[in-house]
């Protein structure tokens, strides 16, 4: 199976040995995104809503670089450090989809990179 690396300057550069996304066949595997602003490389953490919006914007730009959008997402994984933030994260996340939602799990973890509160990865298909 052919593998294509997807990277865009409209999303934060990887902070480790990985790519923003890898396209394999008809599927796009997008690495977990945190609320790093791609232009400033600063975290957007005024509140959980702003943080989640930045994560979703990062995902949006990576999907776009692969000529996809949120309608192509078939699976999402959400990692959060505090389940008390779930409803706010869920509300922001839901605004990026219309109609059919992807499969998903949400997992509370003890810590995330750079001390963020939320990280989201997706798998999209076309």
Give pTM, 2 decimals.
0.97
Along the 126 residues of the chain, how does pLDDT read in single tens digits? 889 999 999 999 998 999 999 999 999 999 999 999 999 999 999 999 999 999 999 999 999 999 999 999 999 999 999 999 999 999 999 999 998 899 999 999 999 999 999 999 999 999
Complete domains list, the chain, with CATH: 3-125 (3.30.1330.40)
Nearest Cα to 6, choosing from 33, 28, 38? 28
- Range list of H helices, 27-121: 48-65, 86-94
The reported pLDDT for the residue numbered 1 is 82
């Amino acid at each position: 199976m052919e593998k294509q690396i997807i990277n865009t300057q409209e999303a934060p550069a990887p902070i480790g040995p990985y790519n923003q996304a890898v396209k394999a066949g008809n599927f796009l595997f997008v690495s977990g995104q945190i609320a790093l602003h791609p232009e400033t490389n600063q975290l957007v953490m005024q509140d959980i809503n702003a943080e989640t919006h930045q994560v979703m914007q990062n995902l949006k730009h990576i999907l776009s670089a692969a000529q996809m959008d949120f309608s192509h997402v078939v699976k999402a994984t959400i990692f959060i450090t505090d389940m008390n933030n779930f409803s706010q994260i869920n509300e922001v996340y839901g605004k990026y989809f219309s109609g059919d939602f992807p499969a998903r799990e949400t997992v509370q973890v003890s810590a995330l990179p750079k001390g963020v509160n939320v990280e989201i990865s997706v798998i999209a298909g076309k």
